[in-house]
Structure 1
Amino acid sequence: MHPTPAGRFLLLGFFGLLALPYFSVVTIADSGSNCRCIFGDSCWPSASDFSKLAKQVSQPLLKPLPPASPCYPLSRPSGDCEATKRLWTDPSWRANQSGAMQSANFETFVFGNDTTSACFINTTLAIPCGQGSVPVVGIDARNDADVQAAVKFAAAHNLRVVVKGNGHDLSGRSTARGSFVIWTHHMKNITFDALFTPTGAPRSEAGAQAITLGAGVQWQEAYDAVNARSRVLVGGLSPGGTVGAAGGWVLGGGHSVLSPTFGLGVDNVLQFTVVTSNGTRLTANMHRNPDLFFALRGGGGGTYGVVTSVTYKTHPNLPLISAVFSATPSGSQTSGVLQTLLTDLMKAMPGLSDAGWGGTAFVAPDATGNVGLSGSFVLFNGTMARANQSTSPFFSTVTSLASEVTFTTSLTPFDSFHAWYTAMSAQEASVAGTNGALGSWLLPRDVIENHSEHVAETLLPLTGLVMGLYAGGAVAQVDPDTMGLNPAWRTALLHTIFATGWVEGTPVNVIDGLFDQVRQNMTALRSLAPDSGAYFNEASLVEPDPLKAFFGDHRATLKAIKHIYDPIDMFVVPEGIGSDDFDDALICKL
């Protein structure tokens, strides 16, 4: 079975029978009043039109190229192919290119007849370098005025628009074939305010120590900035710290190892600035445009406008304790022992959450190929005594399996979150430049408490299993109806993910089989808590009812808000609010 049409458009790693040359065009639909204009359509702006735009923005117009293009000298501009191959999996190298995505499969495009436009780093496949799903033109935004000019231009010409920061996008939402890109990567302004008061707030409202981050600021930059002020903020983790701190991460919710202590990213936002589809720059907070503020906090990125800055409250940069463990079955009954380990970890999770721990556990092969259970957690502002007491239930169980398990553990104090983050980042392995897809589901606390063994049995067969203790604690204390975030976060304890991947050139039937397995795994995972939901930023692209899965009961409210601030539906992303009004390619309205 082939992926659904939407999946075929999005899950872009397929190897076709024929690759199209650079800039060859097969229009998905004739662009009329009901369709967006994409490159190759007769409605595409002229050179004169683009020349006028170029005079309105601060930087030369972008002409994004697929990152592998230097390895195709006969059809592409010259470049250093050896350097490209060496840096292929470097997330910073990818983030600095307007045409690169962190997941390489989203740089390619598969047509309805299974032909592929792509630019593969593996040149031995003998497939010409095509533009794929890389946008053909756009702006390098450096300020709000640049964004406003771009939005007005796109509206005037009815263009298919994508908004991109750093390319950390596990659903391909910041790129699209034949599109016009608003690249916010270089919007790097950082402002610290010791007494920030939201615009329009009454004078009686107490100010907070806050940091305002431009849309292109990455977490490494944000962490360095707040650490210099002896503060900390809730943020993401990734190799190189290249995830955007004021883009899709927070607009989808934004989880963190600090979330059990301080809440999710959206729980810490004080204010947004955003450019809407009519080119107006708005401030959104509890006092100005509160409905837009509701939507931007978890209602999905690339949907309501172009966010140009986010203001977060910060917190004292207190010490923390790191807990790292690894348990690998070494006896003959490895599957049974692994089942016992995972069951006991599930039983321990509610207590770890109550104690304040946040972090991630994995079921994956170790360096020798043996599958084991490992984890990395942090206890913010905790004592070593509390750390030992709260981890002992699980560690004691593992110790009792000493004859069947190779087990290591450590509890290490750090002076600050920044010190821990720096140490952890140095150990993170990059998956940038690879091809893959995932599935995920939020598991409620009561399911884990009452059905630990069944949860473990369901999770264990999933490949690339990641279990994030990012909920509970402060996350559970927020009224779910105060923002657009999926309400399932407020009753969840774990964010569970599984993943699959493939190499360039993998045949269509093999890829189809991988996505069939994703569907089967999602059916099993969803059965644990059918009324829960999934995290918009890290979820399956073959969800049968994505809007319900990602936004729950807030989806109707979010759509009404979108109609107010984006009445022309300029901003539409796969499986986002409003996507159900368009065809699978998000080009023509239904």
Structure 2
Amino acid sequence: MIGMFASFSGLSFLLAWLIGSPPANTEPQCRCLYGDPCWPDEDTFAHLTQQLSVPLIHPRPLAHPCYTDPDCPACVAVHARWDEGTWRAEHSGATQHPNFETFINPSGNVDACYANSSVGDSCGQGSVPIIGVEARTVADVQAAVTFAAEHNLKLVIKNTGHDFLGRSSGRGSFMLWTHHMKDIAVHEKFVPLGSPPEGESYEFALTIGAGVQWHEAYTAADNSGRMMIGGISPGGSVGAAGGWLLGGGHSALSPSYGLGVDNVIQISLVTSMGDHLTTNAYSHADLFWALRGGGGGTFGVVTSVTYRTYPIVPVFLASMSVTSNRSEPVKAAFTELVRITTSLTDSGWGGYVQFSPVGDTCGFSFGTLVPNVSWEEANRTILPYFDYVKSLATTSNLAQGTLKLEGGFTTQWPSFWSLYKHLMPNTGQVGRNLELGSWLLPQKALDGDYEHVANVLMENQGLSYELIAGGAVSKVDPLSTGLNPAWRKAVVHAVFGITWPDGTSAEDIQRLRDSMGSRLRSVRALAPESGAYLNEASMFEPDSRHAFFGEHYDQLRAVKRKYDPIDLFVVAEGVGADEWDEELRCRV
């Protein structure tokens, strides 16, 4: 038998580790990739197929049909629906941003399958795994995990492909696709497994399968007269039971209700030993702690998650956009926003400020919401800022530049979900080459020299200034979850990125990365002791342990050793990843 268990069974390995005497490291030091002599043959894969509920999948890059017949319906759909997140999620070989389907060879050649077939002369497999399991049941997940472990394969776990670290793809790897695990159950009264008689129970908790996306979870909750704290993306295409949650999970509602990790009650998963475990405050509590912020694809394969829900309440939306032909009035408007940010999040306001230069103008759009307050309370906290910006527009002159203001008012919506459906169409944001850099800014940074903060942030084109921390997030004990403690001091998530057209050379992509690295250093210097949001951050953080996990890293690594003693689950920037080479193939 080829693989990790050829000379040492997984069970005996685990027992030896747990009693404190790890066995001699006799497994291969490198994962087996497609094309290697160790890669399983057709008969071996055929045997795996017999254990599954559906046949094996053979993922291909999303644009592949356009290289066989540009006029076929599949290629027409590629061009018509390229920026539709829910549609991309339905394809095993697609990522939400196509640069993660490509692969840059050591020689500098880009192996890709571009939507515009005239850019490249062929459709390469890139970083898309060559074969995999489409999981429909827990047994499918167990079979896939056991197979990957037995044959020492590099395993990629994928749901929707919303991932900015490239964890949903991997050249020559074996894929486990959880997207079609769509079970949803509403519990009028939920009692966590192992809870004592006096333990807490939860009304109308929602249990969702690994493949459920937020638009499906929100709809199920709304149909039950409840609301949830979840992700925001066009069409609600982000997975609700995967990387979003395991990395922390922020929302515009977080200043009022906390992060995703603060609202999860129970998580079930399959470990590298093939065991299906249920984790919560009473069962495998150490693993439950680590899963809440320790990162996706690190400790096991999540099969289901149970969330608390809340009564539906009205939501107020405050929105405004400002533009100018000069930067000074825009900077003044943004500086004032930085100054009042902490007071806004402490009052429950959460939302997003997007900078988007257009032609010779600069400016930003401001959209933030607050749930379950009165008209008077909503206006008391937000109208002074709108009045300030309106005064800038009134007093600006030609020397300062003309400030144009649109919006600057609040509206009431019956629920968060009704507002979400109105604001977030099913297209946009995805389907373009994009890499991110980000940093969490704590209260002491914003409440200090806020003019300096505003100046540094505005130097970063495409900035998103996100009010998704502070408030309720800051009131949670930093030790209660595996989430980076920097989150509990943060008020703002500052994120920006680089983009490039298809066909860009590896050298030009690297120049863009270098430029973003320089910009990120200036933002990081605003609060060097802080950290970054694991799900939306640079793939090249110089100190990933500190940036993503802070002082929790050592404890997270110990939990991983306990539940994944063979290091089957290794992902970019994840716990234990720095013990592997750059390709996450060989131990170092």
| TM interval, short-chain normalised | over 0.9
In the alignment, which residue of structure 1 is the partner of 2:20? none
Q: Which amino acid in 2 is paired with 1:213? A: I
State how far apart, in whole Å, the 2-side matches of 1:369 and 1:230 are. Answer: 47
Native 8 Å contact 2:109 2:506 kept in 1: no
The 3-state SS of whatever aligns with 1:243 is coil
Q: Which amino acid in 2 is paired with 1:383? A: S
1:79 deviates by 6.2
Native 8 Å contact 2:333 2:392 kept in 1: no
1:407 deviates by 1.1
In the alignment, which residue of structure 1 is the partner of 2:305? 310
The 3-state SS of whatever aligns with 1:402 is helix
RMSD of aligned residue pairs (Cα, Å): 1.6
In the alignment, which residue of structure 2 is the partner of 1:574? 572
1:392 deviates by 2.4
State how far apart, in whole Å, the 1-side matches of 2:158 and 2:173 are. Answer: 12
In the alignment, which residue of structure 2 is the partner of 1:12? none
Structural mapping, 1:242-261, within 5 Å: 242-261=237-256
Of all paired residues, the percent bearing the same amino acid is 48
In the alignment, which residue of structure 2 is the partner of 1:211? 206
In the alignment, which residue of structure 1 is the partner of 2:88? 94
1:78 deviates by 7.3
State how far apart, in whole Å, the 2-side matches of 1:207 and 1:370 are. Answer: 54
Q: Which amino acid in 1 is paired with 2:414? A: D
The one-character-per-residue Cα deviations of 1:282-341 (angstroms, maximum 9, x if unpaired) are 0111100011001100000000000001111011111111111111125xxx11112111
In the alignment, which residue of structure 1 is the partner of 2:424? 425
Alignment partner for residue 270 of structure 1, among 265, 270, 279? Answer: 265
User: Does 1:71 pair with 2:66?
Assistant: yes
Alignment partner for residue 397 of structure 1, among 382, 388, 395? Answer: 388
1:154 deviates by 0.8
State how far apart, in whole Å, the 2-side matches of 1:418 and 1:84 are. Answer: 29
Alignment partner for residue 371 of structure 1, among 362, 367, 389? Answer: 362
In the alignment, which residue of structure 2 is the partner of 1:236? 231
User: Does 1:360 pair with 2:360?
Assistant: no
Number of equivalenced pairs:
554
State how far apart, in whole Å, the 2-side matches of 1:470 and 1:192 are. Answer: 27
Alignment partner for residue 139 of structure 2, among 139, 145, 164? Answer: 145
The one-character-per-residue Cα deviations of 1:163-211 (angstroms, maximum 9, x if unpaired) are 0001111111111001111100000000111111110011112310210
Alignment partner for residue 222 of structure 2, among 209, 227, 250? Answer: 227
Q: TM-score, normalised by structure 2?
A: 0.92
1:581 deviates by 1.0
The 3-state SS of whatever aligns with 2:445 is helix
Native 8 Å contact 2:293 2:481 kept in 1: yes
Native 8 Å contact 2:227 2:310 kept in 1: yes
The 3-state SS of whatever aligns with 2:492 is strand
In the alignment, which residue of structure 2 is the partner of 1:351? 343
State how far apart, in whole Å, the 2-side matches of 1:455 and 1:182 are. Answer: 43
The 3-state SS of whatever aligns with 1:374 is strand
Structural mapping, 1:142-541, within 5 Å: 142-209=136-203, 210-330=205-325, 334-365=326-357, 370-403=361-394, 404-408=402-406, 409-426=408-425, 430-541=428-539
Q: Which amino acid in 2 is paired with 1:99? A: G
The 3-state SS of whatever aligns with 1:493 is strand
The 3-state SS of whatever aligns with 1:401 is helix
Native 8 Å contact 1:167 1:174 kept in 2: yes
State how far apart, in whole Å, the 2-side matches of 1:488 and 1:429 are. Answer: 33
1:487 deviates by 0.4
1:429 deviates by 5.4
State how far apart, in whole Å, the 2-side matches of 1:167 and 1:520 are. Answer: 28
In the alignment, which residue of structure 1 is the partner of 2:6? none
The 3-state SS of whatever aligns with 1:125 is coil
Deviates more, 1:506-515 or 1:277-286: 506-515
Native 8 Å contact 2:230 2:260 kept in 1: yes
1:393 deviates by 2.7
1:32 deviates by 7.7
State how far apart, in whole Å, the 2-side matches of 1:299 and 1:277 are. Answer: 16
The one-character-per-residue Cα deviations of 1:102-121 (angstroms, maximum 9, x if unpaired) are 01000011111112221111
In the alignment, which residue of structure 1 is the partner of 2:11? none
State how far apart, in whole Å, the 1-side matches of 2:333 and 2:65 are. Answer: 48
State how far apart, in whole Å, the 1-side matches of 2:373 and 2:476 are. Answer: 23
Native 8 Å contact 1:341 1:373 kept in 2: no
State how far apart, in whole Å, the 2-side matches of 1:45 and 1:399 are. Answer: 67
State how far apart, in whole Å, the 2-side matches of 1:349 and 1:274 are. Answer: 38
5+ unaligned residues in a row in structure 2: which ranges?
1-25, 395-401
The 3-state SS of whatever aligns with 1:40 is coil
1:475 deviates by 0.4
Native 8 Å contact 2:327 2:362 kept in 1: no
Alignment partner for residue 112 of structure 1, among 82, 106, 115? Answer: 106
**Compared with structure 1, are the counterparts of its residues 528 and 247 closer, same or farther at alpha carbon in structure 2 (3 Å cutoff)?**
same
Q: Which amino acid in 2 is paired with 1:43? A: C
The 3-state SS of whatever aligns with 1:326 is strand
State how far apart, in whole Å, the 2-side matches of 1:447 and 1:151 are. Answer: 44
State how far apart, in whole Å, the 2-side matches of 1:185 and 1:124 are. Answer: 32
Native 8 Å contact 1:69 1:77 kept in 2: no
Q: Which amino acid in 2 is paired with 1:532? A: S
1:371 deviates by 1.6
State how far apart, in whole Å, the 2-side matches of 1:410 and 1:365 are. Answer: 23
1:369 deviates by 6.0
1:354 deviates by 2.0
5+ unaligned residues in a row in structure 1: which ranges?
1-30
State how far apart, in whole Å, the 1-side matches of 2:71 and 2:384 are. Answer: 60
In the alignment, which residue of structure 2 is the partner of 1:37? 32
State how far apart, in whole Å, the 1-side matches of 2:355 and 2:80 are. Answer: 29
Native 8 Å contact 1:37 1:44 kept in 2: yes
Q: TM-score, normalised by structure 1?
A: 0.92
1:83 deviates by 2.2
Q: Which amino acid in 2 is paired with 1:64? A: P
1:259 deviates by 0.5
State how far apart, in whole Å, the 1-side matches of 2:109 and 2:519 are. Answer: 28
The one-character-per-residue Cα deviations of 1:40-89 (angstroms, maximum 9, x if unpaired) are 00000111111111010101101001111101118x99763222222222
In the alignment, which residue of structure 2 is the partner of 1:8? none
1:362 deviates by 1.4
Deviates more, 1:493-502 or 1:417-426: 417-426
State how far apart, in whole Å, the 2-side matches of 1:242 and 1:283 are. Answer: 26
The 3-state SS of whatever aligns with 2:145 is helix
State how far apart, in whole Å, the 1-side matches of 2:502 and 2:297 are. Answer: 28
State how far apart, in whole Å, the 1-side matches of 2:413 and 2:304 are. Answer: 31
User: Does 1:83 pair with 2:77?
Assistant: yes
1:507 deviates by 2.5
Native 8 Å contact 2:386 2:409 kept in 1: no
State how far apart, in whole Å, the 2-side matches of 1:510 and 1:38 are. Answer: 29
1:418 deviates by 1.2
Q: Which amino acid in 2 is paired with 1:516? A: D
In the alignment, which residue of structure 2 is the partner of 1:121? 115
**Compared with structure 1, are the counterparts of its residues 341 and 370 closer, same or farther at alpha carbon in structure 2 (3 Å cutoff)?**
same
State how far apart, in whole Å, the 1-side matches of 2:583 and 2:523 are. Answer: 28
